[in-house]
Amino acid sequence: MGNELKSPYRLYKRGNTYHAYYSFYVQGQRIQLRETCHTNDIEQAKAFADNRIIQIKNQASAEPRYTLDEAFGRYHAEKGQYQSRPKQCLSRLLKLKSDLGVTYLDEINETSINHFITLNRQHLSNSTINRYLFLISAVLTTAREEWDIKTSKIKPSKFKLKEPAENIMYLSGGDVLQKIIDRAAPHLKPIIITAVYTGLREGNLLKLKWDNVDFKNQTINVKVKDKTKLGGKFHSVPMADIVINTLKALPKVSDYVFTYHDKPIGSIRSAWLNIFYKRKDGEFSKELKDKDLPYIKFHGLRHTAATWILKATGNLKVTKEILGHSDISTTLKYAHVLDAQKRDAINQLAQSLHK
């Protein structure tokens, strides 16, 4: 009976209406609540209570359903905040939440992804939209493989838009690099030197701690992105003498290597732009300070490192290992350097044979 000692509920009256007090366990969690049965008939009250227990157990044992807000928030807390650009990751998650047009993670499907692409195609480049698609894929994969949450089997990568061939910008020689270093703010100079002689990304540099620098073995050890390994992989980069001397000259005022006024540097954007552009009304204009020093993105220093290493060694595998590429196809972007060397070698051979 409903009000026996071992029953999961107990019936009692308030006025003429029956109420139920529930107390039982579902998957190890105790459920306790009181509510009205909406009747003054004992049999109807028992039937109501029995049905409510079935309903409560079904709800409690059902697989959790994540809203975009919950899923994106958890992803950023567990992964996004540790990426090289955590603020960018957060802003992209917020935009996806706004533009996908759905509430729950399991509602992400072909329609919602096409809606996002259509909504943003006029003002975002194809490559930027593709970065959003990769982020959706990362969240869905994490939900399935780590949180044990069911999602749709949609593959955002199949919506990838065609991107133009990458225009790899790099410094032509040491004289251009020296001009950049000479014009850089004092706190930016050591970052530039370390970047161009290690190939490390901006995010890795700004997060670099003294614990990551091994002067004894002359290496810098950081965690870098890797599609094949969850959370990235550890990567060791050899330090040239110029990097060793540059870092040893820095004061250890923080756990972080690169600081400004004794605090970790959060952004170098303004300091980097200041090397190349004039200011107008407190903002950077498009007018160069020196027409012989065209603007190059800071990431161009990584391209410079790859190009110079490949040119010096002629070895794609060595370049791949130093840059930390997970796939040799990424390193092949710099094969134009080898092509140029091959042409020079053929030209030299032809000239020697026709003397």
pLDDT tens digits along 317-337 = 998 998 888 888 778 888 877
pLDDT at 5: 43
Q: What distance in Å separates the CA atoms of residue 178 and residue 170, rounded to the nearest whole number?
A: 14
pLDDT at 65: 77
Domain 174-343 CATH superfamily? Intergrase catalytic core (1.10.443.10)
pLDDT at 61: 62
Q: Which residue in the block uniquely carries the two structure tokens 């992400």?
A: 108
* Residue 159 phi, psi dihedral angles, 5° rounding: -95, 5
Does the pLDDT at position 59 exceed 90? no
Does the pLDDT at position 3 exceed 60? no
pLDDT at 53: 86
Confidence of residue 83 (pLDDT cuts 50, 70, 90): confident
Q: What is the pLDDT of residues 264-297, one digit of tens each?
A: 998 999 999 999 999 988 899 889 999 999 999 9
Q: Are 210 and 217 in contact (CB under 8 A)?
A: no
Does the pLDDT at position 231 exceed 70? no
Percent of the chain residues past pLDDT 90, beyond the cut: 57
- Name which residue leads in pLDDT, 228 or 223: 223
Q: Which two tokens stand for residue 88?
A: 């960018």
Q: Which two tokens stand for residue 138?
A: 């990362």
* Residue 32 phi, psi dihedral angles, 5° rounding: -135, 130
In terms of DSSP bridges, do strands 219-224 and 233-238 run parallel, antiparallel, or are they unpaired? Answer: antiparallel
pLDDT at 25: 82
Give Cα separations from 294 to 29, 177, 183, 202, 275 (angstroms).
Answer: 65, 12, 13, 20, 10
Positive or negative: CA dihedral 145, 146, 148, 154: negative
Does the pLDDT at position 230 exceed 60? no
Confidence of residue 219 (pLDDT cuts 50, 70, 90): very high
Q: Which two tokens stand for residue 2?
A: 């409903």
DSSP 87: H
pLDDT at 2: 41
Does the pLDDT at position 103 exceed 80? yes
**How much is the mean pLDDT over the chain?**
87
Confidence of residue 63 (pLDDT cuts 50, 70, 90): low
* Mean pLDDT for the stretch of residues 150-179: 86
Does the pLDDT at position 4 exceed 60? no
Closest Cα to residue 154, out of 128, 136, 135? 136
